[in-house]
Structure 1
Amino acid sequence: MVRSATPLGLPAGLVRTARPRQWVKNILVVAAPAAAGELFARHALGQLAVVFVLFTAAASAVYLINDARDAEADRAHPVKRNRPVAAGLVPVPVAYAVGGSLAVLAPVAAAVLCNPVTAALLTAYVGMQLAYCVSLKHVLVVDLIVVTTGFLMRAMIGGLALGIPLSRWFLITTGFGALFMVSAKRYSEAVQMGGRAGATRALLTEYTTGYLRFVWQLAAGVAVLAYCLWAMEEGGVARSSLLPWRQLSMVAFIVAVLRYAVFADRGTAGEPEDVVLRDRALAVIGLVWLAMYGLAVADW
């Protein structure tokens, strides 16, 4: 049953459609400056706050347009029919209008407030995600790559906004780390579905659990290898620290990947933030790694 939109319900519906719970992923905009040891440089935090808001606006635009496009199909789904657009709280034309406006304004604002490279990346992100909504989510393997690239773009944009060169090790580790989590989540969904009909993702029934397991294992291996090569490369010896934090951080990183892989193997690896918050041991390991990595970057 479609409900009528109300003046008070419309703003709340638009916010819900923008998926506030997903905004936490955009904290990744600090990844590149943190990796380069420039997170607390002068004006960095202010600029990163702007980038966070702009990326959130761009992502919200995609969600709004996606829900407007899928409104009819969502009304026939037992869960998605409660989405504000499908439920009639947000009219389809309004969702398109607000989403389209955000999709244009976010890159324009990035060009004005940041630099042309940041604006270009935001434009590419919006275009890629809209292409995913329209057709790419129906293409085997490409759907995994698009979602992974979205995470990688989040991790890159902070560095681009601050003019920080992006290390090849940063790009490889981040890219394959994202692919590890994305494919582990898909694997978990496939395991939980157990071959039954009614998959919430268009291609989920097309992948075998064996293939998805291969992808997340391969991605985890490459991410760990790239991180270890970064930690052990020449010039990575600390200048003044009593302990080789850069090399020691490998241990915490590998243990974190192995711990996350436990949930992937069980088929219970959902949203990455949920996995970390649900498992206290993984959260502690992650904090230990962050501390070691921070000391390594500070000494490098």
Structure 2
Amino acid sequence: MTGTALLRDRTGQRQAPPPSGGGLLTGLLRTARPKQWVKNVLVVAAPAAAGELFSAGAPARLALVFVLFTACAAAVYLVNDARDAEADRAHPTKCRRPVAAGQVPVPVAYTAGVVLGVLAPVAAARLCPPEVAALLTAYLVMQLAYCVSLKHVLVVDLVVVTTGFVMRAVAGGLALGIPLSRWFLITTGFGALFMVAAKRYSEAVQLAGKEGATRALLTEYTTGYLRFVWQLAAAVAVIGYCLWALEDGGVPHTGLLPWRQLSVVAFVLAVLRYAVFADRGSAGEPEDVVLGDRALAVIGVVWAAMYALAVADW
């Protein structure tokens, strides 16, 4: 029996694997998904696009929003894993999650999730602008609704996960009072949908014909439909970015090169490189794809440098 195989008792019933190494606190930390925290870096997207990333007080306010989003996301992960503990035990990889494996008792996971879910919005209400507190509360409510029921609704599940990415990006702008352009929202929204649909497509391809597909909607989506969604989203994201790059707003660039227009090349290359993994059915977590592929990481750094020069050139 392989390491990912399910354990069975003498009656043939499925059981969770032995708990992973570490104590309760380690299990809670793992359940909070530290690797996923990199997604919350999106809070700097709007300030960076507006050239306000290092304005007076901006780093501290953005750091606070990052921490609050991380707390809300951790609360959702804890509640989600507590609810899905039984189903996760039937999954080839999710059975290793601390709650499913018995390292973190279900009541403890629920309690920790509720505590974080209450403290984060309260802290936001006291320390952040009202718009940020409202957005953070809406994010938490939406994600909890997703855990309870929305993840079982076709298409809505994709929209909810995508909206979570967009909310992170919008929160940074609200924290600093930065107006958000239509191109920023279009590119961010459809770029997020591209990655979300690519991940769903990869899950559907990898679990096709196998037991343990705990994401019920994977049996209702067809791989052809999910492929259509990520291809459409990628196309709209590229078009939105190109329209932003080619819109001069009546202000000519003053640098040596038109970095804003040139950044289109790096952006398109990044999308095309990411699409390779999506097409193979190996586009899992976005951060794993980006950090796990050296070429994509290099393209990302080049794009970020061009984007920064474009912003400075305004």
Query: C-alpha distance in 2, partners of 1:131/1:64?
Result: 14
Instruction: Report the Cα distance in structure 2 between the residues aligned to 1:136 and 1:298, rounded to whole angstroms.
Output: 41
Equivalences for residues 23-172 of structure 1 within 5 A: 23-172=37-186
SS at match of 1:203: helix
Partner of 1:242: 256
- Cα displacement (A) at 1:236: 6.2
User: Is 2:219 the counterpart of 1:205?
Assistant: yes
Change (3 A) 1:68 1:16: same
- Give the Cα separation in 1 of the matches to 2:109 and 2:309: 46
Identical aligned pairs, as a percentage?
79
Structure 1 residue identity aligned to 2:266: A
Instruction: Provide TM-score, normalisation by structure 1.
Output: 0.93
Structure 1 CA distance for aligned equivalents of residues 82 and 211 of structure 2: 25
- 1:55 maps to a residue whose letter is F
Give the aligned partner of residue 216 of structure 1: 230
Q: How many residues are aligned here?
A: 298
Distance 1:33 1:133 in 2: 30
Counterparts of 1:194 and 1:92 in 2: how far apart (Å)? 29
Question: How far apart are residue 22 of structure 1 and its match?
Answer: 1.1
RMSD: 2.0
Structure 2 partner of 1:257:
271
Q: SS at 2:216's partner residue?
A: coil
**Gap regions ≥5 residues in structure 2:** 1-14
Does the C-alpha gap of structure 1 residues 11 and 183 become closer, same or farther in structure 2, counting only changes over 3 Å?
A: same
Aligned partners of 2:87 and 2:218: how far apart in 1? 17
1:214-233 Cα shifts (integer Å, max 9, x gaps): 10111011101111111111
CA–CA distance in structure 2, aligned partners of residues 271 and 94 of structure 1:
26
The aligned residue for residue 182 of structure 1 is: 196
| 1:293 to 2:314 alignment | no
CA distance in 2, matches of 1:74, 1:189: 15
- Which is richer in helix? 1
Distance in 1 between the 2:75 and 2:103 partners? 17
Alignment partner for residue 26 of structure 2, among 2, 8, 12?
Answer: 12
**Contact kept in structure 2, 1:237 and 1:246, CA below 8 Å:** no
1:252–1:80: structure 2 CA closer, same or farther, 3 Å change rule?
Answer: closer
CA gap of 1:83–1:38, structure 2 versus 1, over 3 A, is same
**2:6 maps to what in 1?**
none
Q: In the aligned structure 1, how far is the partner of 2:89 from the partner of 2:214? A: 13
- Structure 2 vs 1, CA of residues 104 and 236 (structure 1 numbering), >3 Å: closer, same or farther? farther
- Equivalent residue letter for 1:228: C
* SS of residue matched to 2:172: helix
Q: Is the 8 A contact 1:237 1:244 kept in 2?
A: no
Change (3 A) 1:295 1:10: same
2:116 is aligned with what amino acid?
Answer: L
Gaps of 5+ in 1: none
2:205 matched residue in structure 1: 191
Mapped partners of 1:197, 1:11: distance in 2: 31
1:279 to 293, 303, 311: 293
Q: What are the superposed Cα offsets for residues 29-74 of structure 1, whole Å, 9 maximum, x if unpaired?
A: 1111111111111111111111111100000000111122223333
Distance 2:253 2:193 in 1: 34
Work out the CA distance in 1 between the residues paired with 2:61 and 2:115. Answer: 22
CA distance in 2 between counterparts of 1:275 and 1:2 reads 28
Instruction: Provide the secondary structure at the position in 2 that maps to 1:164.
Output: coil
Determine the structure 1 residue equivalent to 2:280.
266
Q: For the Cα contact (< 8 Å) 2:90–2:212, is it kept in 1?
A: no
C-alpha distance 257-123 of structure 1, shift in aligned 2 (>3 A): same
| Cα distance in 1, alignment partners of residues 174 and 185 from structure 2 | 13
- 1:230 aligned to 244, 249, 253, which one? 244
